Structure 1
Amino acid sequence: MARTPKTWAVRTARDRTEAPVRARLLDAAEAVFARLGYGPATVADITAEAEVSRAGFYVYFASKEDVFRVLAARVRDAFLASQEVPGVDTGDVRAVARESVAAFVAAYARHAPLMPLLEQQAHTDPEARALWQEIRERPVHRHARYIRRLVAEDRARPVAEPLAVARAVGAMSVEFARQVAARRLTHAAAVRDVTAMYLHLLQVAPPGQE
């Protein structure tokens, strides 16, 4: 069957999104923005870092602003993905807590240099502002829904309203992730301490005492 132009266009867009070159450009852009800051960074800096031609850059991104917004969306998606914990028994609250904290701390530590720039751009760029709000709020509200489900199932008795607990755990995770990014704390130590405090806030009984 002949492929229609519309089908071809959709397939081409998907292929470009998944291309390894695109991922390399994104990694390069994140490194350049972290090193130089948003204002001084140029498309030429990004293409040099990625070892991709300028024409190759424009296959995937329209501008420096465009690649920055895509990076912001990638950070948002990384934080949301950290709450998925595939392969973990969702009935094991402690395991879910430990693995989700581990994934979030790792994701935040990886993207830590970009975070101040995302917040800064949010002041002047409406699209960046919307993404920044998603980065800050979507993981917290999803987490609060999870805690409410635990309460409804009588598997946790949090010390405060679920949204407040979710915000507290999020703030702790961010602070400990910053310590990990600065190499003042190991990832394992951060996960151990944040998880302990998280379970305390949830008021989950110790193993064998449910």
Structure 2
Amino acid sequence: MDALTDNWSGAGAPPTMTVREELREATRQRLLSAAEHIFERNGYSGTTVGDIATSANVSRATFYLHFTDKSDVLMTLMRANLTETPDYWHEVDEALVSGQRTELRASLGNTLNWYGQHSNMVRAVREALAANPQLAAQFEGSFAGFADEFSGYLSRVPRQERDRAHLRLQLLMIQLDQLAYRLVVLEQKGIDREVMLDEVTDIWLLTLPAGGAAQLNPGPELQPGMAITTEHKHRARARPSQPEPRLHGDHLGRDRRSGSPRPPVSS
């Protein structure tokens, strides 16, 4: 009998929810769905807790059993949307490892699709972050976490260069985030998307320290850390001469001609 009971109970299986827990979770999901619809329609400032509760067919008191305020529910929605982003960054990571400029450009272009899919929610979140400094503080470090997704590329960067490569990945993603917000979310027409992707791809290749792919996969494609000529704007051909020192991170903080440490600037 004990063995039969163990088989039916599913030893090691996750515990099932009680009826009360199921009802509570169903209410929470209804609130999230209602909030997402209203935020996308009205923006952050145009949405109230009462709007969300009414749309979900619950009382304000019930809302506060699940969320502290409207910013709490907005951040919950945004965190759920952000769970998709590692897949996009993994694709960029694979492109960096491959050393192929065309693959890098395509993967960076795919990240813009995420902004297109969540444009209304991104707009509401930006509005909320601008209005609430405490909320903005919760997002500090997000891009550091995203940079961790580039394990393939970072593992090929010399150990002494990895911290700098990790930081530069963060800065490049912040730049891409700002550009995507303006071009995709706000639909500003000042810069052509394809031209922007060409330039951003070149910036990534210029800025990141060269990883193992640059040595293991030489060829016509432009590699991280290599200099760009005018021809690279249209054709990714690596220049046979040595990269210009000013484009390499090795020369940051050093004399441009000799490579020796710069003397401190007198105050």
Query: Shorter chain as normaliser: what TM range?
Result: 0.5 to 0.7
Which residue number in structure 1 is paired with residue 178 of structure 2?
Answer: 175
Higher alpha-carbon Rg = 2
What is the deviation of 1:23? 5.9
- 8 Å CA contact retained: 1:97, 1:195: yes
Counterpart pick for 1:138 among 127, 145, 167? 145
Does the alignment pair 1:207 with 2:188?
Answer: no
Question: 2:126 is matched by which residue type in structure 1?
Answer: M
| Distance (Å, rounded) in 1 between the aligned partners of 2:170 and 2:179 | 14
Counterpart pick for 2:199 among 193, 199, 203? 193
Are residues 108 and 2 of structure 1, via their aligned partners in 2, closer, same or farther at CA, if it must alter by over 3 Å? same
Counterpart pick for 2:67 among 62, 67, 73? 62
| Distance (Å, rounded) in 2 between the aligned partners of 1:96 and 1:104 | 13
Which residue number in structure 1 is paired with residue 4 of structure 2?
Answer: none
- Relative to the length of structure 1, the TM-score reads 0.62
| Counterparts of residues 57-206 of structure 1 (less than 5 Å) | 58=63, 61-63=66-68, 64-85=70-91, 91-94=97-100, 97-108=104-115, 110=119, 111-118=122-129, 120-121=131-132, 123-124=133-134, 129-130=137-138, 132-143=139-150, 145-152=151-158, 161-180=164-183, 181-185=185-189, 187-202=193-208, 206=220
| Distance (Å, rounded) in 2 between the aligned partners of 1:167 and 1:79 | 14
SS in 2 for 1:82: helix
Comparing both structures, which one devotes a greater share of its residues to helix?
1
- 8 Å CA contact retained: 1:106, 1:187: no
| Distance (Å, rounded) in 1 between the aligned partners of 2:36 and 2:193 | 22
Give unmatched runs, 5+ long, in structure 1. none
| Distance (Å, rounded) in 2 between the aligned partners of 1:21 and 1:44 | 14
| Distance (Å, rounded) in 1 between the aligned partners of 2:180 and 2:147 | 16
Are residues 140 and 70 of structure 1, via their aligned partners in 2, closer, same or farther at CA, if it must alter by over 3 Å? same
Does the alignment pair 1:28 with 2:37?
Answer: yes
Q: Deviations over 1:119-176 (max 9, x none)?
A: 543x335xx733x124243113444x554223249xxx99x93034213311320231
- 8 Å CA contact retained: 1:85, 1:99: no
| Distance (Å, rounded) in 1 between the aligned partners of 2:84 and 2:65 | 20
Question: 2:129 is matched by which residue type in structure 1?
Answer: L
| Distance (Å, rounded) in 1 between the aligned partners of 2:178 and 2:199 | 12
| Distance (Å, rounded) in 1 between the aligned partners of 2:172 and 2:31 | 33
Are residues 137 and 117 of structure 1, via their aligned partners in 2, closer, same or farther at CA, if it must alter by over 3 Å? farther
| Distance (Å, rounded) in 2 between the aligned partners of 1:82 and 1:10 | 37
Give unmatched runs, 5+ long, in structure 2. 1-7, 223-236, 239-267
SS in 1 for 2:140: helix
